[in-house]
Structure 1
């Protein structure tokens, strides 16, 4: 039976070649969309590592105030905010706050024989842990002891950073790490704590190593005009207006804007999902065209082979056998197109394209293969049933 199928397909190699090409292109489209979907879904399932509900970001602009006066003004603003009813706590930060479409990256190493680990760096004060509900895995968070730090500056790293800095599985607590980035090169830091994951880039971002650099409450070198404020549940427009008025009054005219992290998260998700949704719509459109093409070719093929199929029925072939023949032919052609597509798709995990984990591409290849077979079987189902209903006497008389 299989040999007979291959013989029949070889006799129509030109038409079947076009079908194989169409199936190959359909696989490429499914693989591309599947890779994007699997990548985003795997990222979405990973924990964020912080609590964004009831947290507001306040972006302040000191205007033309002399820099020498900005730190003192900022301290007055912070004291006023922390004393405001409805505010739980507040922390200084920079612009790479959660969901802010901003990042600050750096590179550290634990020694000449250890790897250099690239990751995100965040300025953090003693209050940031309470503001974002960060989870410590080992060690401690920043406190007053860090005010008297010696030549080793305190730093807190994430579990992922620890695993990459110390591949042997040893603890990073108390160990020294060195910066290899320009502007901070060869500075030595002591790891005082290890946190769980922290993905300020949001649910769709790939987990990256993270580093928290200590910002002392008395640090006048960096004004850090971004604040993260945890507020009481249920706080709304009234508290927001009061905070803006307090900032303007206490600072002598600083401008400010307030946005909640949940709102910022939704804005980020809408923007980041725009391209995948467009790709999905294009994929559906292309697959509908492929399905119509396969269905039309099979319909025409059966009408042109009515006499052949009628002879087979006259020789004793059952309707199920005829239906199986038509379905088998399209599945074999699908396999040819699939093999070509797998050869191309296999290059992505082998070459490490876009630094995506091989498992993402492998899962996308599996999903694309299943989707392709389901598409081919669905398109061949009705034509194969029509072929099974052919009556030998009618088909031979038409011939």
Structure 2
């Protein structure tokens, strides 16, 4: 039976080649769209690694052409921390979660290296304010003032890259690229390891991260400060106004803006959903186009093969047999097209293309295969039923 099907397909190789090409390219596009959607879906269900709910960020800026002395800034933060409804407060770098601000560097430990690590300046209350969970070691504390190297805390994925199979506590990390003058790169000592974190958005994956201790007695005069504030549940505009008034009460030359991290998350989500929706529309449009194309081609083939169908029915073939023949031909063509597509798709996990997990590519292959086979089976079902209903006398009356 299978040999006979291949012979029928070969005899109509010109028209079948177009159908085969359509199936192949449809599989490739569905594979690409599926890989992206599966990757976004896997990222979405990953733990975030911190608790952003009930956390606000304060953007405190000095007046035009002025800077804020650290002692004055510390006094402002002490007064804000004392407000009713403020549970915790932390000073850090401006690349707070969900913002469109990134600070990345490459780091090395011994012969191990890692690129594109998110780095954050953070004080001794940062972990408590943002709800970071420590797997090993501890967070910064006042006794670290005497440290000869700047203390850091790293995420689990950084530890796995720089210290595979061993503890990272007490180990030294350095910048991967030293200064251009050839001096020794700055070194850091690891105090703790946190869970992996996803600070960039709901559909972004884990981001290797490093938190560097912000010196509490730093004399640098800042132009602006990024502050994270954990507030009590139910806090709203009233507390925001109190915070703004408190900062203005110390120095009226400073301006303050208050934003909820949840608002930042939603804003980032809206930007991410636009291309995601476009991908979904492209996938849906492709499926509809392929379905219409397959249905039209099969309908045309049946009309062109009415004589063949009439002869088979006259020789004793049943309507069910004719129906299964057309359906089987379509499934064989689909298998050939999908096999060619799988051969191409298999190169992506083998070459580690685009840095995606091989399981994402395997899932996309399975998804594209199932969709293509289901689509062709549905499109072939109705035309094959029409072929089964053709009577010999009707098919052969013009012969």
**TM-score range, shorter-chain basis?**
over 0.9
Is 1:161 the counterpart of 2:158 in the alignment? yes
Deviation at 1:171?
Answer: 0.7
Q: Secondary structure at the match of 2:233?
A: coil
Alignment partner of 2:168 out of 164, 168, 172: 172
Of the structure 1 ranges 309-318 and 46-55, higher mean CA displacement relative to structure 2 is found in: 309-318
For the residues of structure 2 that align with 1:319 and 1:249, how far apart are their CA atoms?
89
Taking structure 2 as the reference length, the TM-score comes to 0.94
Q: Secondary structure at the match of 1:56?
A: strand
Matches for 1:272-283 after TM superposition, within 5 Å: 272-283=272-283
Question: Is contact 1:179-1:185 (8 Å) kept?
Answer: no
Deviation at 1:261?
Answer: 0.9
Q: Secondary structure at the match of 2:69?
A: helix
For the residues of structure 1 that align with 2:221 and 2:89, how far apart are their CA atoms?
17
2:128 corresponds in structure 1 to 130
Number of matched residues? 395
Matches for 1:249-264 after TM superposition, within 5 Å: 249-264=249-264
Runs of 5+ consecutive residues of structure 2 not aligned to the other structure: none
Q: Secondary structure at the match of 2:89?
A: strand
Change (3 A) 1:181 1:242: farther
1:347 corresponds in structure 2 to 347
For the residues of structure 2 that align with 1:178 and 1:396, how far apart are their CA atoms?
84
Question: Is contact 2:58-2:229 (8 Å) kept?
Answer: yes
Q: Secondary structure at the match of 2:247?
A: helix
Deviation at 1:251?
Answer: 2.5
1:235 corresponds in structure 2 to 235
For the residues of structure 1 that align with 2:221 and 2:106, how far apart are their CA atoms?
21
Runs of 5+ consecutive residues of structure 1 not aligned to the other structure: none
C-alpha offsets along residues 97-148 of structure 1, whole Å, 9 cap, x if unaligned? Answer: 100022111222221x333454111111111111111111111111011111
Deviation at 1:13?
Answer: 1.2
C-alpha offsets along residues 266-312 of structure 1, whole Å, 9 cap, x if unaligned? Answer: 11111112112102102211221111011011111112212211222
Question: Is contact 1:117-1:165 (8 Å) kept?
Answer: no
Question: Is contact 1:178-1:185 (8 Å) kept?
Answer: no
Question: Is contact 2:129-2:229 (8 Å) kept?
Answer: yes
Q: Secondary structure at the match of 1:134?
A: coil
* 4+ residue segments displaced more than 4 Å: 182-185
Q: Secondary structure at the match of 1:390?
A: coil
- The CA RMSD measured in Å over matched residues stands at 1.8
Q: Secondary structure at the match of 1:145?
A: helix
1:71 corresponds in structure 2 to 70
For the residues of structure 2 that align with 1:127 and 1:176, how far apart are their CA atoms?
23
1:30 corresponds in structure 2 to 30
For the residues of structure 1 that align with 2:126 and 2:88, how far apart are their CA atoms?
9
